[in-house]
Amino acid sequence: MRIVFLTDDWAVAHGQWFPAGGCFYRCMLPRNAAGAAAKVSSPVWAAEYGFGTDNRDGTATFGFDLVVLKNLFQRWIPAQIQAAQELGQRVIIDVDDLYSDIHDANVAKGLLDPATNKVRNWDHYDETIRVADAVTVSTPKLLEAYGPIACDIRLIRNGISPVQFSPIKHVKARKPVLGWAGGMGWRSNDIEELRPWLNDFLEEHDLQFHHVGSDPGQPVFSDVAGVDPSRMILTGMQPIATYASALTFDIGLVPLADIPFNHAKSNIKGLEYAAAGIPFVASYSPEYQRLSDMGVGHIARTAADWQAELTALLDFDVRRKEATRQRKLVLSQHTIRETAPDWVRLFRDVAGNCRVPTVRLKYVAI
């Protein structure tokens, strides 16, 4: 069975292509479950062969039995899916966000709203879900949202790569550093949740705050959170290969606005923190509550909750004990090793017999 994951979810830094977060967790890691022969690529289309891979050398490869499409919102994708199915390809759509409920503050709203983008939007994406052979989602809320329009939908939660994260070393002799990792442009008024209390908390305990993911083209964390810039440590946006090593703070925060879009999000940031040996506090969401109930992370619903939970983690012995316990839990229960059987089962259930030959063609990029 020849499997390919196709997505536009890539970034470029210093002339190198690397997967963005969605591509990494929903394509790269599941690709490992599918076997070494499976591919991850940007998509290419040919009427004679269906979906194929952009080899980034002026050629494309076709001839795949099963195609997993990730974050392709263009208006022509539904018709291409149906044509590929006529050729014998089977098509799966992966969904890890509630796109129809994107917050106005999130940069993705302007990029995908049908009112502002007629070519690439969430209405077209819904149509891909309707015509696909199967759909995968990362949370129960997404299962609930997209189940009515999918003919076959599967919940497969995110799992981390166990070899990617090494535990940080907690040091008793210095004060802990609080931190958050993420791009500011893709927030839904999340960082504003910290504004009423964070700066006062940092000043009261004389602490620093580390933002991993700062970018000159995006809002500034200290401005949005109302934090004194002199208390900030900044690390720029990281490719996935170096992201884990940039998580060097002692206590993690996961602020989330109380909205449907965030309630449908996975708890991947908490899993990353815990795998790196970083105890964390998160806003309430169904997936973070589930994680907390399993012994990983703490939930804060109010400013007082945030301060109380973080104050407890300022104690070195508490912090180190939680770091060890939570990392062990995540690495034993929340990795791609645990989710791989779900992906393999899906591939076996959906796979058809692709009738098009495996070919490598030159093409002209448009």
Tell me the CATH number of domain 178-333, given options 3.40.50.2000, 3.40.605.10, 3.30.200.20, 3.40.50.300: 3.40.50.2000
pLDDT digits (tens, 9 = 90+) for 134-166: 999 999 999 999 999 999 999 999 999 999 999
Mean pLDDT of 226-249: 94
How far is Cα of residue 166 from the mean position of the Cα atoms in its chain?
20
Q: Which residues contact 32 (CB under 8 A, 6 or more apart)?
A: 336, 340
Q: In the chain, what is the straight-line distance between the N-terminal and C-terminal CA atoms, in Å?
A: 30
For residue 363, the model assigns a pLDDT of 60
pLDDT value at position 34?
81
Q: What phi and psi, each to the nearest 5 degrees, are found at residue 85?
A: -65, -35
pLDDT band at 357 (very low <50, low <70, confident <90, very high): low
Measure the CA angle with vertex 245, ends 241 and 251; round to 5°. 135
Lowest mean per-residue pLDDT among 14-18, 57-61, 76-80, 293-297: 14-18
Tens of pLDDT along 32-41? Answer: 888 767 999 9
- Read off the pLDDT band of 253 (50, 70, 90): very high
The pLDDT mean for the chain works out to 94
Domain ranges of the chain: 3-159+336-362, 178-333
Q: In the predicted model, is pLDDT for residue 194 greater than 70?
A: yes
Q: Tell me the pLDDT band of 314, cut-offs 50, 70 and 90.
A: very high
Query: What confidence category does residue 50 fall into, taking pLDDT thresholds of 50, 70 and 90?
Result: very high
Domains 3-159+336-362 and 178-333 share a fold: yes
Question: Candidates 3.40.50, 3.40.190, 3.90.1200, 3.40.91; correct CATH number of 3-159+336-362?
Answer: 3.40.50
Percent of the chain at pLDDT above 90?
87
| pLDDT exceeds cutoff 60 at 354 | no
Predicted local distance difference test score (pLDDT) of residue 365? 46
Average pLDDT score over residue span 313-335: 97
pLDDT at 366: 39
Question: Residue 138 has what pLDDT?
Answer: 98
Mean pLDDT of 172-192: 96
pLDDT at 14: 63
Mean pLDDT of 174-194: 96
Categorize the per-residue pLDDT at 352 as very low, low, confident or very high, splitting at 50, 70 and 90.
low
Within a 10 A sphere around the Cβ of 56, how many other Cβ atoms?
11
| Neighbouring C-beta atoms of residue 89, cutoff 10 Å | 28
Q: Which of 13-27, 58-72, 220-234 has the lowest mean pLDDT?
A: 13-27
pLDDT at residue 189 is higher than 90: yes
Do 9 and 71 touch, CB atoms closer than 8 A?
yes
Would you place residue 98 in the very low, low, confident or very high pLDDT band (cuts 50, 70, 90)?
very high
Please give the pLDDT value at position 123: 97
Higher pLDDT, 13 or 24: 24
Q: What percent of the chain has pLDDT over 70?
A: 96
Q: Which two tokens mark 133?
A: 């052979």
- What pLDDT is stored for residue 359 in this prediction? 77
Cα separation of 213 and 21, whole Å? Answer: 12
Task: Find how far residue 221's CA is from the centre of its chain.
Answer: 20
Helix axes 268-275, 286-293, angle to 10 degrees: 40
